Amino acid sequence: MKPRNGTIDLERSTSSPTMGFSKYQEAWLSRGGIVAIVIGFLFLFKFLLYQQPGLIPVDLPIGAALSSQVPETQPLCQLKNCTTQANSNITSDRAFLVDIPNSYLPRKDYIKPGSSTHELDIAKYFKVAVEDSELLHAAQDAATLPLPQGKPKVAFLFILRQKIPLEPLWERFFGGADKDSYSIYTHPSWWVDGFPENSVFFNRSISTKEVKRFDISLVDVVRRLLAFALLDTDRANMWFVLVSEACIPVRSFPFVYDYLMNSTTSFVESFSPLQRFKRWNPEPVFEMNKLRKGELWMSMHRRHAGMVVGDVTFYRKFKADCRDDCTLDEQYTQTLLHCLDPEGIANRSVTYADWSNPRHGGSPLKHTAALINSTLIEKIQNRTENLDGQYMDSSDDFNHTMQTCVYNGLPHSPCFLFARKFSGDKEDVQSLLDLPKSVLQY
């Protein structure tokens, strides 16, 4: 049994495992039953590992019914009685804030869950490169509370490696939205400059950490973005859409909003990659046949966002052991959600990518100007089957329902709201901007 990796600083205050020995165990002890103790600890360890995910108290139902059922809520601080404790020192706290240019700082204090005295100062996550344990913990806590007041929103979480060359397109997209129905959070790479004041991306960035593809850092960024959006008590973020600078919307905002808000499942591509990948033994955290893979660009309901920020066990296992064929960013969330809520995810994405070229070299087709025209966009919009998905590459389960896009139980439904990959090259951007608005619908 591999000991817990001390460098993984994602500790949680679960109930203490120091339960007393039973009479039987005492008897064994007195007979020197070392083996029994060892076996006992192994079982206890396994039990704790299995138990932890189950303890995540995220029990939010998904679907249309929810938006009408969202109860009148109190602000987080009232629920936690933190007003007096945390806000009293707001002035002195501000002295410690680092001014991150162009940052969206939810400058609020939160009580650390499980403690009535410790103040969680969100701002400190802008100062230190941490494992984010408190941030995630608080976010999970927030996910279990009723949605903040206001119209339920779709939170767009941008993971950016460069400035958004397609910004004019996104501006048009958000221009067609009710301002009260979306939120934007960006995680720019550190070299990305701020956005101008008139941009929808202005003052929307969370603190930045280095990100590498296929690396745990990408999972960390996803969790941080989810956490900030969950903790933002000013905004009733109900859905969370992960996008990059290479993504575009292929529907109008109202279409996207209805599609997500009315959905009874999250859109997380999830297929079994075992055909290709057999080496890893992830037990006892989960059985190998539960391993799932899919694209990072997913859209999930608050319920699942809560599960992703609240997980410790799967995270540890993936971080410690996921190597070689195991691609963290494409397997961690997928496996976690498949294990915790298999019926709650549609097993497909709403973000189109073209993996149809068998020699894709690990990256889907980049749509350059030569490929961009109305037909391309219409074809993507018209899709009711996902025939170019990543699963074509390495799924065990070729003939499974992933080919047919099921929406609220209805097969052959429109599959896609977003598409990738589009380059930032001037010519390619221009050809997208030149598309008739009647085609993109925005």
Ligand X SMILES: *[C@@H]1O[C@H](CO)[C@@H](O)[C@H](O)[C@H]1NC(C)=O
Which residues of this protein are in contact with ligand X, per CB under 6 A?
64, 67, 81, 85, 88-89, 92, 104-105, 203, 258, 261-262, 265, 342-343, 346-347, 370-371, 373-376, 378-379, 382, 398-399
Query: In terms of CB distance, is 46 or 290 closer to ligand X?
Result: 290
Q: Which ranges of 322-389 would DSSP assign to H, the alpha helix?
A: 328-340, 374-382
Query: In whole angstroms, how close is the CB of 81 to ligand X at the nearest point?
Result: 4
Secondary structure E strands in 126-236: 153-160, 182-188
Query: In terms of CB distance, is 10 or 104 closer to ligand X?
Result: 104
Query: In whole angstroms, how close is the CB of 168 to ligand X at the nearest point?
Result: 21
Cα separation, 219 vs 308, in Å, equals 10
Q: Which residue has the tokens 């052959």?
A: 412
Query: In whole angstroms, how close is the CB of 187 to ligand X at the nearest point?
Result: 16
- Burial of 212 (C-beta count, 10 Å sphere; 0-12/13-18/19+): exposed
The two three-digit tokens of residue 290, written as one number: 């539960």
Cα separation, 145 vs 113, in Å, equals 12
Query: In whole angstroms, how close is the CB of 356 to ligand X at the nearest point?
Result: 13
Query: In whole angstroms, how close is the CB of 276 to ligand X at the nearest point?
Result: 14
Please, what sign has the CA dihedral across residues 207, 208, 209, 211? positive
With residue 133 as reference, give the H or E element that holds it: helix 133-144
Choose among 172, 313, 292, 301: nearest CA to 236: 301
Query: In terms of CB distance, is 110 or 312 closer to ligand X?
Result: 110
Query: In whole angstroms, how close is the CB of 370 to ligand X at the nearest point?
Result: 6
The two three-digit tokens of residue 202, written as one number: 């202005």
Query: In terms of CB distance, is 378 or 434 closer to ligand X?
Result: 378
CB atoms within 10 A of CB 131: 16
Side chain identity, residue 168: P
Cα separation, 138 vs 120, in Å, equals 8
Query: In terms of CB distance, is 333 or 347 closer to ligand X?
Result: 347
Query: In whole angstroms, how close is the CB of 71 to ligand X at the nearest point?
Result: 17
Q: How far is CA 66 from the centre of its chain?
A: 20
Query: In terms of CB distance, is 5 or 373 closer to ligand X?
Result: 373
Query: In whole angstroms, how close is the CB of 27 to ligand X at the nearest point?
Result: 43
Query: In terms of CB distance, is 105 or 169 closer to ligand X?
Result: 105
Query: In terms of CB distance, is 159 or 261 closer to ligand X?
Result: 261
DSSP state of 198: T
Cα separation, 6 vs 16, in Å, equals 18
The partner residues of 159 in beta bridges, in order of sequence, read: 187, 244
